Amino acid sequence: MKTILITGANGQLGSDLCEILGAEGFKIVPLTHADFDLTDTAHLKEVLLLHKPDVVINTAAFHHVDQCEADLEKAMLVNCGGPSLMAKFCDNLGIKFIHISTDYVFDGLKNAPYLETDEPKPLNNYGLSKWAGEKAILNECKNALILRVSAIYGKSPCRAKNGLNFVQLMLKKASEGADLKVVDDEIVSPTSTESIANKIREILAANPSGIMHLTSEGSCSWFDFAEEIFAYTHTQANLSRAKSTDFVAKTPRPKYSVLDNQKLRERGLKPMPDWKTSLHHYLDQLTK
């Protein structure tokens, strides 16, 4: 039985990974922010030597985009320094290291789905720190795998967004009768953490390395996403279109951050589900 150590185990993706990989028969070592400090070098090595995992999946990160913009030093420490040290230890100990990254490494100016081979050009400190982490990890660990995800949502609370992901927030605001102005000029591929966790389960057998994109097929604006949430759940909502320029943003964000899962196809793995299919499945579970 393989042992998989998962950091950020109580987060949206981490919790789904624990559930899905645990059900598959793997021995799971779940580590949360409360019992694991990604930036503590001695503790990192101690944890790896104690549990002797076959695989480490690092979902832990400093996700809050505006806070990263205000504190680049912390962003670099958590999103680059800690993961690169973990990658180095994993390489020395013969442990497979899988690291979760983001679509925010790109500037959104391509206006076509980004390939794994496209050069990152981050617009903000969050993207910059994650890109720095990618480079450092691949430099330290020859067999590391970087998985870039986008616009994720899951069952567990989202710490970076006051506990609610976009889907939950839209449904909550609609139930309160709020006026919802949602941008229609930022394009993403909303991706459920369950679909990511299921695909990682398949990827473990293939054992790829390098960089791989892992997002839902298809794309939409945030407005389209909200509209589909309300249509599928038959929810009455005061929803209207807005432009990103209508809001005062502390931090620049890419207007187009759709990722092409090219490497997934090249490995002969099944494609990710369409964003609507994943959303409908998630909403069915959420409203049971």
- Catalytic site residues? 126
| Residues facing 179 on adjacent strands | 238
Whether 159 contacts 120, CB under 8 Å: no
Integer-rounded Cα Rg, in Å, for the chain is: 18
Q: What gap in Å lies between CA 239 and CA 237, rounded to an integer?
A: 5
Using left for φ > 0, alpha for ψ between -120 and 50, and beta otherwise, residue 182 falls in: beta
In angstroms, how far is CA 121 from the centroid of its own chain?
Answer: 18
With beta carbons less than 8 A apart as the criterion, state whether 29 and 37 touch.
Answer: no
**Residue 4 · residue 30 · CB < 8 Å:** no
